[in-house]
């Protein structure tokens, strides 16, 4: 940070936020924009023209020469096309122009983005539309305008559009329920999220020497280092100076862009770290998370690091997730998931708590699909992350309250207890009534739910689209059951309804250890799904239940649902196909070279010894060569099988059949080949390997 400057001086300095608009826009224009943001109303073109003129001047003052409509196609990444503000004059000079039409609408070529059959390749026209609720910002000399992306026919080709639709659906159903409960002043409900981002940092030069990291984001082979995370010395450990400097730079860059980065620390695995932001409105938080991942990579590169966002970049140590902290808040400032001092008496809280439990149980399989990816399949259920079984943790107190509702009994509060720390100098701490459960995929954590299943590399839009829609559906069910009940009977009817819903959906509540085999068996007895891979989960996305959910609440059309089915399966197959080809190339061109060189060196050493002592046994060299030769034969055989099966997979036409084959056959081939390679690698000195080892990469930062 520049000398003399405070965080408050730099925070949001590159953002066209509410403060800037209030200072620069005419009052009537500011009110119109604010109304659009607060109430989701349409913005007229004359207002857009006024905003565009002021936004352009502000952007130019901050060094911008171009503008871009920044959108999130179904690649999982962001996209941008930059146009300059320049407009030539007849006398050869130029002026800087930016109209309201250019602000609210753009026309990128849609033909090269995934559409899942929504668009033919030759149908190129697509539209981007300004999202006024997510502030514009300046980066690298361009004004970035967050936008939605749709086809010529109006089909959503992005993640922002359905996310905004899901937020509207949840707001609509929540307001109806709240009005029924007596909150007449509530007119809008907003979903808020905070996405904790986990990542790895390794030396950039080492990263550049690993084809698997370059092409796939994860290591496809590599013997484990002598030390991993078993000493538990990295989690919350002292930040290494270079890492601390990176985090400092990252905070500053994010703060300038209005991203409320708050918490930073070392994670469990060596070279793994985490950044957590303050809660924001869901669509802004999703935009900011996409921006965070981009800035992480940019700052890492400047600092001589490579930032790895893959869910499982290294085998044998923890992978990375993106914990999605989710809550709902009214326009009057009420957090609907805050139990208050007496949650058993807080009818509003209990209604919304039960709506979430109902939603998660009823649509658990679709929530699982929302976090499915080739990378996340390596992480879920691997004794480090939530299992692939979706369950809800509510803690002891809420479990007791729900039990009393189910049994129709009065709940007796136990009261909060003081923790005895055993030393007078330490402060008294009031013990929370809810513990944290790191093994739960969906845990209540005080005044929010933490959805722990999303992977570190993916957009959290998908998870929140499904979650918002599922909860909206549960709230609609609650409203329909209560809307015609007389006021004097409403309280008893609510309790009766909560008891009925709890009886139906309590099977999803689990407060124990989700990592155990006992839970897997128990979940099976309860009828809970254990969808371990994307191909296994994807048919649920196009089920009758799923199509009815999304079409009823106008989140997706049936065609949009089918397109995403096609895209997710195609991306899965492409990911594993690229991994297979990369592994084959690394083994043939890199590993084999090291293996042959080392074998030749060992054989040469034995030959030298025999020149001096002809009858020398050379037992060490002979045994080593025999082991390496045996492994070489197995590697070649496994390599041939992987090559043949990959070609077989590539020829399959049905997207689900192809993805399932990649998952069940090609990935298994890769694991078999890797096991042989890793065993051989552990016998070869690092000086003979043309790429850095696990030990070098994971412990290179000082």
pLDDT digits (tens, 9 = 90+) for 630-684: 999 999 999 999 999 999 999 999 999 999 999 999 999 999 999 999 999 999 9
CA dist 287 and 259 (Å) reads 9
The reply to whether 30 falls in a domain is yes
Cβ atoms of 137 and 257 within 8 Å: the answer is: yes
Q: What is the pLDDT of residues 530-552, one digit of tens each?
A: 999 999 999 999 999 999 999 99
420 domain residue, yes or no: no
Residue 54: CATH number of its domain: 3.10.20.70
Class of residue 16 by CB neighbours under 10 A (exposed 0-12, middle 13-18, buried 19+): buried
Q: Has residue 172 got a pLDDT over 90?
A: yes
- Does some domain include residue 564? no
Identify the domain containing residue 345 by its residue range. 164-187+332-414+431-554
Report the CATH number that the domain containing residue 641 is assigned in CATH: 1.20.120.1560
Statement to judge: residues 527 and 636 lie in one domain: no
CB 171 within 8 A of CB 328: no
CATH number at residue 282: 3.30.590.10
Are residues 409 and 527 both part of a single domain?
Answer: yes
- What's the sign of the alpha-carbon dihedral 400, 402, 405, 410? positive
Task: Give me 329's structure tokens.
Answer: 């808040």
Distance CA 256, CA 95 (A): 28
pLDDT of residue 170: 98
The reported pLDDT for the residue numbered 111 is: 63
Q: What is the pLDDT of residue 674?
A: 97
pTM value is 0.92
- In 3-state terms, the chain is what percent helix, strand and coil (to 5)? 50, 15, 35
pLDDT exceeds cutoff 90 at 337: yes
CA dist list (Å): 432 to 84, 423, 425: 55, 20, 21
Q: Which of 579, 561, 600 is nearest to 649 (CA)?
A: 579
The rounded distance, in Å, linking the Cα atoms of 312 and 315 is 7
d(CA 110, CA 151): 7
Task: Give the chain's mean pLDDT.
Answer: 89
Average pLDDT of the segment spanning 58-67: 94
Residue 560 domain-assigned (yes or no): no
Asked whether the beta carbons of 673 and 642 are under 8 A apart, the reply is yes
The answer to whether 81 and 68 have CB atoms below 8 angstroms apart is: yes
Per-residue confidence (pLDDT) for residue 46, from 0 to 100: 86
**Number of neighbouring beta carbons within 10 Å of residue 9:** 11
Q: Could you please report the per-residue DSSP string of 595-627?
A: HHHHHHHHHHHHHHHHHHSTT---HHHHHHHHH
pLDDT > 80? residue 310 = yes
CA 508/CA 158 separation, integer angstroms: 31
Query: Which of 549, 623, 640, 511 lies closest to 166, judged by CA?
Result: 549
- Residue 207's nearest CA partner among 294, 301, 290 is 301
294-304 per-position pLDDT tens digit: 999 999 999 99
What pLDDT, on the 0 to 100 scale, is given for residue 426? 41
Tell how strand 82-84 and strand 105-106 pair up: unpaired
Three-class HEC string of 120-167: CCCCCEEEEEECCCCCEEEECCEEEEEEEEEECCCCECECHHHHHHHH
CA 564 to chain centre: 17
Residues 503, 364: one domain? Answer: yes
- Tell me what the mean pLDDT of segment 364-387 comes to: 87
Domain boundary among 271, 288, 320: 320
End residue of a domain, out of 522, 554, 586:
554
Flag whether 312 is in a domain.
Answer: yes
Sign of CA dihedral 137, 138, 143, 149: negative
Q: pLDDT, tens digit, for every residue of 266-296?
A: 888 899 999 999 999 999 999 999 999 999 9
My answer on whether 403 and 336 are in the same domain is yes
425 located within any domain? no
Cα–Cα distance measured from residue 579 to residue 479, given in angstroms and rounded to the nearest whole number: 49
Same domain, yes or no: 550 and 627: no
CA atoms of 581 and 135, how far apart (whole Å): 42
Quote the CA–CA distance of 158 and 140 in Å, as a whole number. 24
- The secondary structure element, H or E, covering residue 24 is helix 18-24
- CA angle 607–612–615, rounded 5-degree value: 75
Tell me which of 139, 158, 177 is where a domain ends. Answer: 158
Phi (first) and psi of residue 195, to 5 degrees: -105, 110
Q: Which among 643, 667, 642, 639 is positioned nearest to 572, based on CA atoms?
A: 667
Cα distance between residue 503 and residue 521, in whole Å:
21
Asked if 624 and 683 count as a contact pair (C-beta separation under 8 A), the reply is: yes
Torsion sign (Cα): 167, 173, 177, 179: positive
How many structural domains are present in the chain?
4
Q: Is the same domain home to 490 and 625?
A: no
CA pair distance 137, 141, nearest whole angstrom: 10
CA atoms within 13 A on the CB side of 359: 26
Give the 3-state secondary structure of residue 84: strand
Q: What is the pLDDT of residues 579-598, one digit of tens each?
A: 999 999 999 999 999 999 99
pLDDT value of residue 109: 65
Q: What is the pLDDT of residues 224-274, one digit of tens each?
A: 987 767 555 567 677 888 999 999 999 999 999 999 999 998 888 899 999
pLDDT at 434 over 70: no
- Residue 272 to residue 201: CA distance in whole angstroms: 7
Is the pLDDT at 413 greater than 70, yes or no? no
pLDDT at 248: 95
Among candidates 533, 597, 579, which has minimal Cα distance to 378? 533
| Numbers of helices and strands, H then E, in the chain | 25, 21
User: Rounded to an integer, what distance in angstroms lies between the CA atom of residue 280 and that of residue 146?
Assistant: 16
Inter-residue contact 302 to 199 (CB < 8 Å): no
Cα dihedral 390, 396, 400, 403 in deg (nearest 10) = 20
What is the side-by-side strand order in the sheet with 261-266? 261-266, 272-277, 197-203, 305-308
Phi-psi group of 459: left, alpha or beta (phi > 0 → left; psi -120 to 50 → alpha; rest → beta): beta
Judgement on whether residues 484 and 511 belong to the same structural domain of the protein = yes
Proportion of the chain above pLDDT 70, given as a percent: 90
pLDDT for res 9: 83
pLDDT at 438 over 80: no
Model pLDDT, residue 431: 47
Is the domain of 66 the same as that of 137? yes
Lowest mean pLDDT among 122-136, 206-220, 683-697: 122-136
233 with 92, same domain: the answer is no
Token digits for 501?
Answer: 């819903």
Spatial CB neighbours of 579, under 8 Å, sequence gap ≥ 6: 212, 216, 218, 220, 374, 670
Predicted confidence (pLDDT) at residue 305 exceeds the cutoff of 60: yes
Q: How many CB atoms lie within 10 A of CB 427?
A: 6
Does residue 152 lie in a domain region?
yes
Q: Check whether residue 505 and residue 587 sit in a common domain.
A: no
| pLDDT score of 330 | 96
Residues 388 and 500 in one domain: yes
Q: How far apart are CA 1 and CA 638, in angstroms?
A: 53
In a domain, 390, yes or no: yes
Q: Which pLDDT tens digit goes with each residue over 441-499?
A: 999 988 999 999 999 999 999 999 999 999 999 999 999 999 999 989 999 999 999 99
- Cα 476 from chain centroid (whole Å): 28
Q: What is the pLDDT of residues 78-136, one digit of tens each?
A: 988 898 988 776 766 556 788 888 888 887 765 666 666 665 554 556 788 889 999 99
Q: Is 546 helix (H, G, I), strand (E, B) or coil?
A: helix
61 and 39 both lie in a single domain: yes
- Tell me what pLDDT residue 430 has: 45
Q: What are the φ and ψ backbone dihedral angles of 303, each rounded to 5 degrees?
A: -90, 5
Q: What is the Cα–Cα distance from 223 to 145, expressed in whole angstroms?
A: 45
> Average pLDDT of 609-631?
88
Residue 61 burial (CB < 10 Å; 0-12/13-18/19+)? exposed
Burial category of 459 from C-beta neighbours within 10 Å (exposed 0-12, middle 13-18, buried 19 and up): buried
In angstroms, the Cα distances linking 157 to 144, 318, 399, 458, 678 are 19, 34, 41, 16, 42
Specify whether the backbone of 127 is left (phi greater than 0), alpha (psi in -120 to 50) or beta.
beta
Cβ proximity of 489 and 416 under 8 Å? no
Other CB atoms within 10 A of residue 121 CB: 8
């Amino acid at each position: 940070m520049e000398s003399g400057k405070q965080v408050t001086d730099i925070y949001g300095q590159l953002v066209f936020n509410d403060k800037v608009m209030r200072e620069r826009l005419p009052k009537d224009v500011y009110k119109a924009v604010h109304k659009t943001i607060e109430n989701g109303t349409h913005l007229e073109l004359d207002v857009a023209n006024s905003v565009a003129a002021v936004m352009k001047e502000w952007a130019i003052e901050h060094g911008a020469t171009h503008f871009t409509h920044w959108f999130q196609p179904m690649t999982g990444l962001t996209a941008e096309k930059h146009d300059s503000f320049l407009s030539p004059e007849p006398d050869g000079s130029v002026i800087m122009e930016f109209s309201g039409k250019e602000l609210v609408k753009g026309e990128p070529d849609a033909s090269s983005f995934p559409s899942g059959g929504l668009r033919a390749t030759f149908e190129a026209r697509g539209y981007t539309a300004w999202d006024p609720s997510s502030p514009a910002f300046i980066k690298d000399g361009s004004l970035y305008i967050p936008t939605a992306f749709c086809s010529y026919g109006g089909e959503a080709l992005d993640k922002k559009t359905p996310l905004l639709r899901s937020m509207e659906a949840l707001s609509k159903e929540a307001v109806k329920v709240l009005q029924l409960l007596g909150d007449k002043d509530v007119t809008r409900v907003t979903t808020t999220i905070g996405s904790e981002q986990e990542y790895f940092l390794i030396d950039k030069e080492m990263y550049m020497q690993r084809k698997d990291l370059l092409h796939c984001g994860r290591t496809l082979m590599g013997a484990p280092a002598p030390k991993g995370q078993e000493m538990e010395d990295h989690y919350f450990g002292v930040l290494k100076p270079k890492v601390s400097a990176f985090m400092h730079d990252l905070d500053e860059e994010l703060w300038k862009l209005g991203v409320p980065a708050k918490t930073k620390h070392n994670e469990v695995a060596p070279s793994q770290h985490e950044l957590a932001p303050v809660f924001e409105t869901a669509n802004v938080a999703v935009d900011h998370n996409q921006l965070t991942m981009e800035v992480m990579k940019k700052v890492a590169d400047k600092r001589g690091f490579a930032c790895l966002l893959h869910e499982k970049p290294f085998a044998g140590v923890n992978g990375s997730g993106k914990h999605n902290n989710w809550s709902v808040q009214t326009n009057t400032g009420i957090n609907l998931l805050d139990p208050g001092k007496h949650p058993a008496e807080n009818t509003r809280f209990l209604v919304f708590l039960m709506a979430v439990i109902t939603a998660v149980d009823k649509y658990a399989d679709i929530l699982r699909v929302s976090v499915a990816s080739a990378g996340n399949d390596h992480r879920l259920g691997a004794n480090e992350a939530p299992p692939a079984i979706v369950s809800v943790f509510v803690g002891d107190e809420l479990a007791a309250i729900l039990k009393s509702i189910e049994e129709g009994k009065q709940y007796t509060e136990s009261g909060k207890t003081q923790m005895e720390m055993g030393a007078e100098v330490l402060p008294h701490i009031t013990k929370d009534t809810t513990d944290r459960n790191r093994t739960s995929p969906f845990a209540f954590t005080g005044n929010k739910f933490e959805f722990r299943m999303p992977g570190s590399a993916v957009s959290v839009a998908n998870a929140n689209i499904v979650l918002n829609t599922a909860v909206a559906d549960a709230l609609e069910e609650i409203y329909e059951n209560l809307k015609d009940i007389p006021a004097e009977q409403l309280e008893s009817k609510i309790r009766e309804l909560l008891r009925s819903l709890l009886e139906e959906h309590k099977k999803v509540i689990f407060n124990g250890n989700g990592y155990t085999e006992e839970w897997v068996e128990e979940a099976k007895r309860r009828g809970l799904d254990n969808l371990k891979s994307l191909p296994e989960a994807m048919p649920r996305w196009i089920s009758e239940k799923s199509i009815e959910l999304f079409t009823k609440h106008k989140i997706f059309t049936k065609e949009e649902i089918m397109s995403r089915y096609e895209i997710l399966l195609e991306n899965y197959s492409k990911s594993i196909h690229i991994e297979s080809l990369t592994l084959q190339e690394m083994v043939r061109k890199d590993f084999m070279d090291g293996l042959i060189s080392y074998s030749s060196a060992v054989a040469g050493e034995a030959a030298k010894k025999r020149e001096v002592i002809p009858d020398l046994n050379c037992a060490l060299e002979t045994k080593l060569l025999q082991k390496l030769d045996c492994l070489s034969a197995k590697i070649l055989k496994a390599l041939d099988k992987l090559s043949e099966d990959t070609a077989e997979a590539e020829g399959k036409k049905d997207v689900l059949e192809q993805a399932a084959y990649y998952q069940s056959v090609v990935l298994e081939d890769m694991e078999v080949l890797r096991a042989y390679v890793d065993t051989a690698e552990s016998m070869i000195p690092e000086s003979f390997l043309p790429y850095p080892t696990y030990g070098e990469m994971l412990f290179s930062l000082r």
